[in-house]
Amino acid sequence: MTHDVLIIGSGAAGLTAALVLAEQARVLVLAKGALDAGSTAWAQGGIAAVLDEGDTFEDHVRDTMVAGGGLNRRETVEFVIEHAPQAIERLIELGVPFNVDPAVDGGLHLTREGGHSHRRIVHVNDATGWAVQEALLKAAHAHPNITMMPDMVAVDLITDRHRTAPTGERRVWGAYALNGQTGRVECFAAKATILATGGAGRTYLFSTAPRGATGDGIAMAWRAGCRISNMEFMQFHPTCLYNLEVKNFLITEAVRGEGGHLKLPPGVPGGGERFMPRFDPREELAPRDVVARAIDHEIKRLGLDYVHLDISHKDPEFVRGHFPNIYERLMGLGIDMTKQPIPVVPAQHYTCGGVLIDLTGRADLSGLYAVGECSESGLHGANRLASNSLLECFVFGDAAARDILARWDQFAPPPELRAWDESRVADSDEEVVIKQNWTELRRFMWNYVGIVRTTKRLERAAHRIKLLQGEVNEYYGNFRVTADLIELRNLLQTAELIVKAARARHESRGLHYNLDFPQTDPAARDTILVPKVR
């Protein structure tokens, strides 16, 4: 199949790009699962933008740079933040029903989250991502130039080596993808390709990311010959619900932003007391890396399973009004957050590194762009500031689309490409191998490459990754691909990049904390990994 532009991913970044491109081009959007199954729909908090009279772009830039440990690229930070109000306006035009504040003559209600010096988070109750996803999908479905195909698992990017007559050109012409309905790999050719595949949260045992967050875009770009940057900076959200029956339910940062306190549970020394004042003067409003490490420290120090997040001292109507979805979900589990604390633990939440891009979203290969969580634009640095992630999706989705349209005459039609070859493989006879290796990978990544690291732990992780890669590569070469095999291959590739980057950083900065190198170097440097196939 041939389209003008191929977009891999149907979340905020991919659909934003699609809607801009569709005014002049035929766009195909591939989704790994359901069209709304990505990370966007899971975003509870909101979108950061300078909309309050007392706030300024410079304040938002400073907050972003402080949270990012000085590793952010200031040009990128300014670019994204200055375009934030326009992004909010476009979403309003699409019908996103942001909460309004009757106290400011119908203006948008702004909440505050950790690391922000002002109230600047626009939101739709505590389910902003779902409302945004719904509005974007509705607009995309209505556009005749946009085709969306669910249940399509991208396998690899199509590069010059996949041409029937290779020329040595460093270019991308689309992607191969597994059709979940037919079980066959299909060739999708395009003049330009945008990766909007999300992050790599499922590399870890505990994560708030959806099932499909397996680092697909990052791994495909690396195999194709793109540089990957800052993969050691994996953000752990401080407050994921601790419940043995319900996994991966996030308790939004806004609960702390609206006055929630982190406390030690009863039955231990200091039980019932707040502990964040001991770690940071910003207390519960410290950036996520600080709060996550503090919780991890207390859990390990006292042998706990969880700590408490308590907002029961606030008016019940206030709590129910601000967090209706969380309130209902917790009530279904027997937890009344207006009367009792919520048990929480940290969990992997966001991939700050990814495919290295410029301000237009361009990656290293001609015809290839990356936007959203799979990219490394320089916005987040060593730690993402809360609610800057959806913002990045809108700004860079728009920027990539406009760059493609501005350079349209430079994009030639795809050449003749080779079809996917299955002539020398058979159907898998040992699916248990995939399940075993997946479980092993996620467990040792959690234990060895988690919130706190050591050189020895990283070496052990690297050794295990190498062993598993040998098994999986042999398996990949002998059997027809399945969705699980594709994801495991990408998870292992992403894990290798995370560990390689972590071993190269001999300091502690932002989300990367190594007990063997606790100091922070005076100069901030990116970790840029270069593939051998470049």
* Residues forming the active site: 288
Beta bridge partners, 171, equal: 366
Look at strands 375-376 and 354-356 and give their pairing.
parallel
Residue 234 to residue 353: CA distance in whole angstroms: 8
Under DSSP, is residue 146 helix (H, G, I), strand (E, B) or coil? strand
Pick the closest to residue 26 from 161, 188, 186 (CA basis): 188
CB 233 within 8 A of CB 380: yes
Residue 517 to residue 505: CA distance in whole angstroms: 9
Beta bridge partners, 262, equal: 309
Residue 212 to residue 58: CA distance in whole angstroms: 36
Residue 140 to residue 31: CA distance in whole angstroms: 13
Alpha-carbon separation of residue 92 from 97, 104, 108, 481 (angstroms):
7, 18, 11, 42
Residue 41 to residue 141: CA distance in whole angstroms: 17
What's the angle, vertex CA 390, arms to CA 388 and CA 396, rounded to 5? Answer: 95
CB 364 within 8 A of CB 159: no
Alpha-carbon separation of residue 225 from 167, 172, 405, 509 (angstroms):
16, 10, 24, 28
